[in-house]
Structure 1
Amino acid sequence: MKSRLLSLVVSGLLLASSNLSASALRFSEATVQTGTPPSGVAPSPVVPAGGVVTVFTDRAAFDAAFPGLAVETFNGGTAPAGNFAVCDAPLSSVPGSAACGFDPGELIAGVSYQDNPGPDAAALILLGVGTSLNASQALVSNTFSDALDLVFSPPVSRAGMDLISTSAPGVGDPDTVLVTLFDASDAVIDTVPAANASGPGVFFGVSSPVPIARIRLLSNTNRAEGVDNVAFTQAVAAVQRSVPSLGFGGLTALVLGFLALAGFAWTRRQ
């Protein structure tokens, strides 16, 4: 009886071990999936938790409200169609940080992409076209337990992007991505759930009266969350121009100088 019980325990441990090894902790280690992917869930209305920000779920409406914004498509990087490339974090336009085939300065300046917690080496994935049902190249986190951060410097007043969630090449999982906005002091402005962030993705746009210094994207089901077609504009800061005070001495010198010029002009007329 004891030997049979021990055998069952050992068998259970081996099965658990095999299941653990089969479930990859990173997108780059996941097995390519084939066949028909699961259908996406219907998007639910997005309501800001604190009523602070204005949320857009349609890119056309966002573009109409804020026309002319530059868009980061990530198409300048190198990732084979149907496959992916692994990038170090942070990824930005700053010379020395470019990876995955991006030339220094090629990415739009003012934003960096990194894992959270991080930044770490091999923390980001550049998806090639069609790798996870994405229509164009996109950037996602590599470690499933990590979030993806967009860090803006200087902060921005509005931003829009296509949200993506995937657990393996060939899979566009139904998922909800939690979008958390932070100000320059790293205080939370708002948290908004974005549903149907799978496959081709869903659009998420936001306008905030409080400048946004960081956007954190976190999959609700522990998957690789990411972005494509990122657009943003910097927050407008009031520029204060101060007029220097002359003081009594300065004012006296100014008056004397004016009188001297007047006397010189009168002498010339004589």
Structure 2
Amino acid sequence: MVWFSIDDGFPEHPKTVAIQRSHRLNAVGLWTVSGIWVSQQLTDGRLRTSLVTEKGGRTLHIRALVAAGLWHDSDSVCRHGASHCPGIPDKGGLTFHDWFDWQRSRRQILRERERKVAAGRAGGKASGASRRERSPSKPEAPASPTVEPPVPYLNPQLLTLVCRRLFGGAPLDETTVNELMAAWEMTVGAGDLETELRSFLMHNVDTDLRNPAAALKGWLAEAAERARKPGLKPVLGCANCRSGWLPDDVETGMPVPCPVCKPHRYVARADAQ
């Protein structure tokens, strides 16, 4: 999970107080909501004006934040180095001033995720070795060397989209995430949950599902069958994508399949076999 950090002295900061009091609360609220989105999407303090207006921001709020020095637009001036500030954006863009002084960078977050994944894999290997020592007469089926291991981290926006599809916009809570992860590990265990969830969304984006929860359960059951089939499975992912997917669409949040790997087409081919 990624956090958007705000100092407890921010409401009394001179830049905040410089915003006209009549719309200060709205401007600060817009700044906060936008910061949460930027943190979630790992854009290193960058966003588009169109996204801000879509979230309810008005031109006067944007201008107030730029004038106060909390945001930069294409006409701003900033002398702080790249280690502190993302810099001046192109026309139609905005940046958070001195983002890196208060927030973690995309590189730092991804490195931390990789560290946790590596630690999880090491723990899984140790647990497997312990189980094999306790019951040596029951060998485990060898895993295909070309199948990617499970990804413990799940993009929160991806989970939000899936849960909105399943539960009609009910709030996403930790229990829902844990139940989804537990069901996946029991059903498949050796697949890529993110790829299957994204493929589920792509496959059913225009489908009127009578029982979305049952549809996802059936999808995961089919994924389990695909994972159990003998033979090598294709490795999804290339130099331009992560596990066959490009960054999610900024406006809709929908998954964007890699035009080279085409993971959703692979799923369709597997279903037809």
Taking structure 1 as the reference length, the TM-score comes to: 0.22
Give the strand-richer structure, 1 or 2.
Answer: 1
Taking structure 2 as the reference length, the TM-score comes to: 0.22
Q: Which has the larger radius of gyration?
A: 1
Give the helix-richer structure, 1 or 2.
Answer: 2
Where relative contact order (Cα < 8 A, 6+ residues apart) is larger, the structure is 1
